[in-house]
């Protein structure tokens, strides 16, 4: 399967959990809107001055300058609506102040001179200038949020300004992360020379950690179909999704697919035309999806970025799309054999005159090395249709910031 095809298959297999909770708007950053939300109040809620200046009763043309008006009072922000403005009058007004009825425009104070109780307007002004009209931003009843939106500080500001103090959001997705392998040990315990420390579980949990998602430590399970099946079956009773690493390749030493089936689930093997991260297992135990990732740490993280996180976003109620990479240029040679898409750790060297990133590879001789992956700015995508990439050739770039947003 090509990457875009795999994305469609994996994300398309997800159904949103549908659980909803109501929370304070000020706590909603990073949560997922569970439905549409409409404004309770206009924004702004009254005709409001956009500047410090003078409210004037009519537009002023150049041939009327300087234009003298009598200043009646001062309208400060937070004061109730002042009395109406009459002909020949002006009112000193602060930014955010209520514009008095009878006002045609507000003149910036910098364009005026005070002479006692009068003001001389020295600049022409059009009708409506510097007035924010009631509801010009948001009208009562306007739809502010749609189901599946990932909320941020901009949404919080809009909701609060429109009088909304609570919002319905999708419940946090509980995702269990399981490491497999007889050789895997936790950091902090003693490991023999033939054993390795578990980097996959903690790294995947840190990649998944977000306000809308609660990653759960599913433990380390030995290479045993029955043991893994028992673990998955137990986790499926208390989680919304499960990710495993290791045992996904499909040989007689790989147990993920068989364990899902033994746990009364369904599963299928996927072979991706990419490097790293060729094998995946897609399954479900009841209505709980299970994604089996490769055991190599870089391959597991790459596939989780490309497919795992979008799957979970869909499970939580969002609508992720395959965005592909950003057009970029090769700074130096990228080793590549046609037939498979390579995702190579790459460093941003510069930016071309047309704005494209210029990249150099950090993983000569292998795409599954941890140190180049840790030092990279993102992944250079080398298309299956091309062979070796030469300096100046086009490539695609997936920044880690974009992959983990």
Could you tell me how far CA 334 lies from the centroid of its own chain?
A: 30
- Asked if residue 280 and residue 214 are part of one domain, the reply reads yes
- Asked if residue 197 and residue 265 are part of one domain, the reply reads yes
Q: What is the largest distance, in Å, between two alpha-carbon atoms of the chain?
A: 95
Q: For 92-133, how does the pLDDT look when each residue is reduced to its tens digit (9 = 90+)?
A: 999 999 999 999 999 999 999 999 999 999 999 999 999 999
Asked whether residue 85 is domain-assigned, the answer is: yes
On the CB side of 71, CA atoms within 13 Å amount to 19
Find the distance separating the first CA and the last CA of the chain, reported in whole Å.
Answer: 25
| CB of 398 closer than 8 Å to CB of 381 | yes
- Asked if residue 220 and residue 353 are part of one domain, the reply reads no
What's the token pair of residue 122? Answer: 């020295």
Q: What is the pLDDT along the chain (405 residues), one digit of tens a residue?
A: 999 999 999 999 999 999 999 999 999 999 999 999 999 999 999 999 999 999 999 999 999 999 999 999 999 999 999 999 999 999 999 999 999 999 999 999 999 999 999 999 999 999 999 999 999 999 999 999 999 999 999 999 999 999 999 999 999 999 999 999 999 999 999 999 999 999 999 999 999 999 999 999 999 999 999 999 999 999 999 999 999 999 998 888 889 999 999 999 999 999 999 999 999 999 999 999 999 999 999 999 999 999 999 999 999 999 999 988 999 999 999 999 999 999 999 999 999 999 999 999 997 656 779 999 999 999 999 999 999 999 999 999 999 999 998
Q: How far apart are CA 308 and CA 292, in angstroms?
A: 10
The answer to whether the bond into 44 is cis (omega within 30° of 0) is yes
What's the token pair of residue 35? Answer: 């439905």
Asked whether residue 137 is domain-assigned, the answer is: no
**What are 75's strand-pairing partners?**
93
Length of the chain: 405
- Asked if residue 269 and residue 227 are part of one domain, the reply reads yes
Q: Residue 271: give its domain's CATH number.
A: 3.40.980.10
What's the token pair of residue 260? Answer: 């899902």
Q: Residue 396: give its domain's CATH number.
A: 2.40.340.10
Asked whether residue 104 is domain-assigned, the answer is: yes
Give the list of residues 6+ apart from residue 189 with CB closer than 8 angstroms, or none. Answer: none
- Asked if residue 176 and residue 200 are part of one domain, the reply reads yes
Could you tell me how far CA 88 lies from the centroid of its own chain?
A: 54
Listed residue (132, 131, 133, 145) closest to 40, CA to CA: 145
Q: Which one-letter DSSP state was computed for residue 57?
A: S
- Asked if residue 248 and residue 350 are part of one domain, the reply reads no
Asked whether residue 321 is domain-assigned, the answer is: no
- Asked if residue 295 and residue 196 are part of one domain, the reply reads yes
**Radius of gyration, CA atoms only, the chain:** 30
Write out the DSSP string of 224-272.
-HHHHHHHHHHHHTT-SEEEEES--S-STT--HHHHHHHTT-EEEEEE-
- Tell me, yes or no, if the pTM score tops 0.85: yes
Listed residue (313, 288, 395) closest to 349, CA to CA: 395
- Asked if residue 57 and residue 160 are part of one domain, the reply reads no
- Asked if residue 212 and residue 261 are part of one domain, the reply reads yes
Pairing of strands 279-285, 266-271: antiparallel
**Domain that includes residue 330, residue range:** 326-403
Q: How far lies 253's CA from each of 49, 167, 224, 250, in Å? A: 72, 48, 9, 8
**What are 20's strand-pairing partners?**
170
Listed residue (335, 311, 329) closest to 392, CA to CA: 329
Domain end: 275, 298, 316, which one?
316
- Asked if residue 369 and residue 308 are part of one domain, the reply reads no
Give the list of residues 6+ apart from residue 148 with CB closer than 8 angstroms, or none. Answer: 32, 33, 317, 318, 319
3-state secondary structure 340-355: CEEEEEEEEEEECCCC
Q: Collapsing DSSP states into helix, strand and coil, what is residue 40?
A: coil
Q: How far apart are CA 8 and CA 117, in angstroms?
A: 71
Asked whether residue 296 is domain-assigned, the answer is: yes
Domain end: 266, 282, 316, which one?
316
- Asked if residue 83 and residue 13 are part of one domain, the reply reads no
Q: Residue 92: give its domain's CATH number.
A: 2.170.190.11
On the CB side of 289, CA atoms within 13 Å amount to 23
Asked whether residue 125 is domain-assigned, the answer is: yes
Q: How far apart are CA 309 and CA 307, in angstroms?
A: 6
Q: How far apart are CA 398 and CA 325, in angstroms?
A: 5
**What domain count does the chain have?**
4
| CB of 351 closer than 8 Å to CB of 50 | no
Q: How far apart are CA 179 and CA 65, in angstroms?
A: 79
Asked whether residue 308 is domain-assigned, the answer is: yes
Listed residue (203, 285, 208, 281) closest to 246, CA to CA: 281
Q: How far apart are CA 241 and CA 292, in angstroms?
A: 11
On the CB side of 162, CA atoms within 13 Å amount to 25
Asked whether residue 399 is domain-assigned, the answer is: yes
- Asked if residue 155 and residue 103 are part of one domain, the reply reads no
């Amino acid at each position: 399967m090509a990457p875009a095809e795999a994305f469609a298959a994996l994300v398309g297999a997800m159904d949103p959990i549908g659980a909803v909770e109501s929370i304070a708007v000020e706590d909603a950053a990073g949560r997922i809107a569970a439905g549409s939300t409409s404004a309770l109040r206009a924004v702004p809620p009254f005709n409001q001055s956009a500047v410090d200046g003078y409210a004037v009763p009519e537009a002023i043309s150049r041939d009327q300058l300087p234009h003298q008006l009598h200043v009646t009072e001062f309208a400060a922000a937070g004061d109730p609506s002042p009395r109406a403005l009459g002909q020949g009058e002006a009112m000193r007004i602060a930014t955010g102040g209520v514009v008095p009825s009878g006002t045609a425009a507000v003149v910036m104070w910098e364009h005026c001179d005070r002479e006692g109780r009068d003001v001389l307007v020295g600049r022409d002004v059009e009708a409506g200038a510097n007035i924010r009209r009631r509801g010009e931003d948001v009208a009562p009843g306007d739809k502010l949020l749609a189901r599946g939106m990932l909320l941020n500080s901009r949404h919080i500001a809009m909701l609060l300004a429109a009088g909304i103090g609570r919002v319905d959001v999708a419940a946090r997705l509980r995702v269990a992360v399981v490491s497999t392998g007889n050789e895997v040990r936790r950091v902090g315990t003693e490991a023999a020379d033939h054993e390795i420390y578990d980097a996959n579980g903690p790294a995947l949990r840190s990649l998944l950690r977000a306000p809308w998602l609660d990653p759960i430590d599913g433990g380390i399970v030995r290479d045993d179909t029955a043991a893994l099946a028992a673990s998955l079956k137990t986790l499926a009773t208390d989680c919304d999704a499960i990710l495993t690493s290791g045992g996904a390749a499909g040989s007689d030493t790989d147990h993920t697919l068989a364990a899902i089936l033994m746990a009364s689930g369904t599963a299928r093997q996927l072979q991706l035309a990419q490097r790293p991260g060729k094998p995946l297992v897609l399954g479900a135990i009841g209505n709980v999806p299970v994604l089996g990732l490769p055991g190599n740490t870089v391959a597991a993280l790459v596939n989780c970025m490309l497919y795992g996180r979008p799957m979970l976003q869909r499970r939580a109620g969002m609508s992720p799309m395959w965005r592909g990479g950003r057009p970029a240029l090769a700074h130096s040679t990228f080793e590549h054999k046609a037939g498979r898409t390579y995702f190579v750790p790459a460093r941003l060297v510069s930016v071309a005159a047309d704005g494209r990133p210029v990249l150099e590879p950090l993983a000569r001789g292998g795409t599954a090395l941890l140190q180049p992956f840790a030092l990279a700015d993102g992944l250079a995508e080398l298309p299956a249709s091309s062979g070796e990439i030469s300096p100046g050739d086009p490539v695609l770039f997936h920044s880690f910031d974009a992959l983990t947003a």
